[in-house]
Amino acid sequence: MECVAGTTLGEFIIRQQSAFPDATGELSTLLSSLQRAARVVNREINRAGISDVLGSMEQLNVQGEEQQKLDWFANERFKEALAARGEVCGLASEEEEGFVSFSPVNTRPGKYVVLIDPLDGSSNIDVNISIGTIFSIYRRVSPLDGPAQLEDFLQPGCKQVAAGYIIYGSSTMLVYSTGQGVNGFTLDPSLGSFFLSHPNMRIPERGRIYSINEGNYQDFPTGVKRFIKHCQEDSPEQGRPYSSRYIGSLVADFHRNLIKGGIYLYPPGTNLPDGKLRLLYEANPLAFLMEQAGGLATDGSTPLLQLQPRTLHQRTPCYLGSRYLMLQLMKTLVEA
Ligand code: AHM
Ligand code: MG
């Protein structure tokens, strides 16, 4: 049945803004720019098999990973959309080595910076598995009348003004938080608008899903191995064994666990001493959402949102999930 009476993302953003009489509307405009770019990226992903956008650019990105055509396409669309309106003075992206400074629009200096993974899980693009965009927004700390500086991007996650993701899945959703809970919006492709479909998302306190790439098991720290064993042990009164679910596409794994309850783990290993995920545009925005939804997020010893970043592309071990499972994990890590 068609829904024409729902709240659109645009209406929701304006309603949230009106709760703050001093708000200038710049963050609202920024969020609108993100949703506009998301719709363009979504359209391209949906027709990926019939247009020439599948496959590799045959070049490596700054991470030394093969850049897919859609990685590049998404990066360009988000960059254009964010540069166009003037609220943003700079962008850092998984696809760019350094941050990009935007020129002021109408001489108005942008007061926000955005960090983005334009298309996460890109190894899944060619096989029609859900992928996502992850974004993080900070108020700049450098003087307003100059260009963006590195210090604007290297802020701890607790300073995020807003964060969110877009999941390009069986339906396309935009999930975000400005620090007042988490709300999810589903794209109605026939109307071209996102509608509020998941108000006030809360992760279940207990969940029964653990998500980890178990192929790397031999490499995991002892505490993580013990926690996996705990998840697999029989304990009907505690609902164990838990189910193992791992897509290998961070946004999809996170989204499922957020709704159903669960824990996501990307631990350090011998070859990746800091794990694989990037602190600034993968771990931190998801940690912000997780805490806003009532869950916990840590690097194994420190809450992710408290970490002081050193470099744009730094990696971090990352554990995100339901409160009960996270407390079990942290206890196991300390005891190991
Ligand atoms: P990407 O940013 O290059 O796409 O890599 C990040 C992806 C995440 O989506 C996913 O959670 C993780 O890498 C999977 O890694 P692995 O294949 O090692 O399990
Ligand atoms: Mg990524």
φ and ψ at residue 11, rounded to 5 degrees: -65, -40
**How much is the pLDDT for 68?**
78
Ligand 1: which of 129, 277, 286 to mutate, judged by most atoms within 8 Å of the beta carbon?
A: 277
- Residue 157, classed as helix, strand or coil, is helix
**Beta-ladder partners of 100:** 91
**How much is the pLDDT for 230?**
97
**How much is the pLDDT for 1?**
45
Over the chain (336 residues), the average pLDDT of each successive run of 10 is 72 84 84 96 85 68 74 95 94 96 84 96 86 97 94 98 96 96 96 96 97 96 98 95 97 98 96 96 98 98 98 98 98 95
Say if ligand 1 is within 6 A of residue 120 CB: yes
**How much is the pLDDT for 271?**
87
Cα-Cα-Cα-Cα dihedral of 253, 255, 257, 260, to 10°?
-140
CATH of 9-198, one of 3.30.540.10, 3.10.450.50, 3.80.30.20, 3.40.50.150: 3.30.540.10
* Å from CA of 248 to ligand 1 middle: 6
Nearest atom in ligand 1 to 94's CA? 2
Say if ligand 1 is within 6 A of residue 140 CB: no
* Å from CA of 10 to ligand 2 middle: 27
CATH of 209-335, one of 3.90.78.10, 3.40.190.80, 1.10.8.60, 1.10.357.10: 3.40.190.80
- Residue 31, classed as helix, strand or coil, is helix
Say if ligand 1 is within 6 A of residue 65 CB: yes
Say if ligand 1 is within 6 A of residue 213 CB: yes
Nearest atom in ligand 1 to 215's CA? 19
**How much is the pLDDT for 236?**
93
Ligand 1: which of 120, 251, 281 to mutate, judged by most atoms within 8 Å of the beta carbon?
A: 120
Q: What is the ipTM of this complex?
A: 0.95
Burial class of residue 215 in the structure, from the number of CB atoms within 10 Å of its CB (0-12 exposed, 13-18 middle, 19+ buried): exposed
Q: pTM for this structure?
A: 0.94
pLDDT in tens, 58-114: 667 666 777 778 899 999 999 999 999 999 999 999 999 999 999 887 777 899 999
* Å from CA of 282 to ligand 1 middle: 10
* CA 130 – CA 108 distance, rounded (Å): 38
Ligand 1: which of 245, 266, 270, 281 to mutate, judged by most atoms within 8 Å of the beta carbon?
A: 266
Ligand 2 ion: residues within 5 Å (CB): 117, 120
Map 45-108 to HEC letters: HHCHHHCCCCCEEEEECCCCCEEEHHHHHHHHHHHHHHHHHCCEEEEEECCCCCCEECCCECCE
* Å from CA of 216 to ligand 1 middle: 13
Say if ligand 1 is within 6 A of residue 95 CB: no
* Å from CA of 312 to ligand 2 middle: 13
pLDDT in tens, 165-191: 999 999 999 999 999 999 999 999 999
* Å from CA of 128 to ligand 1 middle: 15
Cα-Cα-Cα-Cα dihedral of 160, 43, 36, 61, to 10°?
40
Task: Sheet with 263-266: list strands edge to edge.
Answer: 243-244, 209-211, 263-266, 318-321, 296-298
What distance lies between CA 322 and its chain's CA centroid? 17
**How much is the pLDDT for 125?**
79
**How much is the pLDDT for 5?**
61
Domains of the chain, residue spans: 9-198, 209-335
Report whether 117 contacts 134 (CB < 8 A).
Answer: yes
Say if ligand 1 is within 6 A of residue 248 CB: yes
Report whether 287 contacts 305 (CB < 8 A).
Answer: yes
